[in-house]
Amino acid sequence: MSISMTNDIVIGGISIPPGARKRVGIKVAKLYDYTEMTIPVEVLRGKKDGPVLFVSAAIHGDEINGIETIKRLLARKSILSGIRGTLIAVPIINVFGFHQKIRYLPDRRDLNRCFPGSRSGSLGGQIAYIFMEEIVEKCTHGIDLHTGSMHRTNLPQIRASTDDFETKRLALAFGVPVVLNSNLRDGSLRQAAADKNIPMLLFEGGEALRYEEKVIRSALRGIISIMNTIGMIDQKKINLRPRKKEVFVARSSHWIRAPHSGSLRIRKRLGTMVKKDEILGVISDAFGQGRINVRARETGIVIGMNMLPLVNNGDALFHIATFENSKVVEEQVEFFDETLEIDD
């Protein structure tokens, strides 16, 4: 799918003609002191017809790995020069949460449950409405970058509706070892994009309020791979270290919850295979007594975990994805640390 480059794209009241690169601030609201809050956007338009891809981050204000990823993407001059179509980069959607280093909006709403939004709704609804109108509805494809929520970390992974052929094709092309077939959630950006028939991927990796090099590299590598897959950039400008890559779609996933309150000692790390009934961690009291083992329900791969040692009964501790052959997935995750070679 491609968009004709004969017309300007208008974002935030600013016209961006073919071949131009511009930064725009989309006005969303004001603070108590009347400081204008704007969503920062950078638009790169090629001179040839092609897809229109949005890449966004910080829909949760404390998820900053994606912000650094977009910075690095925008710095790749050799790749971005001569692109076909348009790249719309939105490093911070939830500017309110970002400025306060928190996940949510000032009214404690989750912006990723406010889509498609409303012109006269809550603050979250209005921001969602503006983002849909100004960005999403002008695009043919989308990638939204996330991390784990506070005190949780995630293995680099793609979450997508693999029942849709095009979305599954792009999910596999992103190149991270694990793809989680994830149902669309009401009020999410992914749901709103699907309603507009826009294929969209959700990348998860790392934890909140941290820059993690491995996660940032894997996200950047995946975005560039998608740009190549949909015909935006020239394959010759991408220099990947030649290694065998295989992507696995999880059959299902589930969280293992704390069977008791106490302090948790983790026994497994992200990306490792665990067998049914294997010990994932041990909960004990302040004296190291009353030890209770946390065990796996099924054989699978650890794709997410709670990093806070102090846990209450029922807290989500380990996110386990199940596969046809978990051992093969573990091996693939182990050598996924290769770097992306890009000549600038």
If asked whether residues 158 and 288 sit together in one domain, one would say no
Query: Where does the pLDDT of residue 7 fall: very low under 50, low under 70, confident under 90, or very high at 90 and above?
Result: confident
Average pLDDT over residues 114-125: 97
Q: Is the pLDDT of residue 2 over 80?
A: no
The answer as to whether 298 is a domain residue is yes
If asked whether residues 18 and 112 sit together in one domain, one would say yes
Q: Please, are residues 183 and 161 in contact by the beta-carbon 8 Å criterion?
A: yes
Q: Please, are residues 287 and 344 in contact by the beta-carbon 8 Å criterion?
A: no
pLDDT digits (tens, 9 = 90+) for 211-254: 999 999 999 999 999 999 999 998 776 765 545 568 999 989 99
Residue 3 gets which letter from DSSP? B
If asked whether residues 98 and 169 sit together in one domain, one would say yes
Global confidence as pTM:
0.94
Distances, alpha carbon 119 to alpha carbons 94, 123, 125, 129, in Å: 17, 9, 7, 6
If asked whether residues 159 and 306 sit together in one domain, one would say no
Preceding amide of 177 cis, omega within 30: no
Query: Where does the pLDDT of residue 335 fall: very low under 50, low under 70, confident under 90, or very high at 90 and above?
Result: low
Residue 112 gets which letter from DSSP? G
Q: Is the pLDDT of residue 115 over 60?
A: yes
Residue 35 gets which letter from DSSP? P
The answer as to whether 139 is a domain residue is yes
If asked whether residues 49 and 188 sit together in one domain, one would say yes
What confidence score (pLDDT) does residue 339 get? 46
pLDDT digits (tens, 9 = 90+) for 52-71: 999 999 999 999 999 999 99
Query: Where does the pLDDT of residue 98 fall: very low under 50, low under 70, confident under 90, or very high at 90 and above?
Result: very high
If asked whether residues 123 and 172 sit together in one domain, one would say yes
What confidence score (pLDDT) does residue 331 get? 86
Longest dimension (CA), the chain: 71
Average pLDDT over residues 160-164: 94
If asked whether residues 35 and 97 sit together in one domain, one would say yes
pLDDT higher at 337 or 279: 279
Average pLDDT over residues 26-35: 94
If asked whether residues 288 and 168 sit together in one domain, one would say no
What confidence score (pLDDT) does residue 343 get? 47
291 phi, psi to nearest 5 deg: -65, 130
Q: Please, are residues 114 and 107 in contact by the beta-carbon 8 Å criterion?
A: no
Range with the poorest average pLDDT among 2-16, 26-40, 133-147, 165-179: 2-16
If asked whether residues 94 and 226 sit together in one domain, one would say yes
If asked whether residues 213 and 276 sit together in one domain, one would say no
Contacts of 130 (CB under 8 A, 6+ apart): 26, 28, 39, 117
If asked whether residues 168 and 110 sit together in one domain, one would say yes
The answer as to whether 39 is a domain residue is yes
How many separate domains does the chain show? 2
Beta-strand relationship, 310-311 and 273-274: unpaired
Task: Determine the structural domain holding residue 298 and report its residue range.
Answer: 253-322
Average pLDDT over residues 267-285: 97
Average per-residue pLDDT for the chain: 93
If asked whether residues 18 and 115 sit together in one domain, one would say yes
What confidence score (pLDDT) does residue 340 get? 45
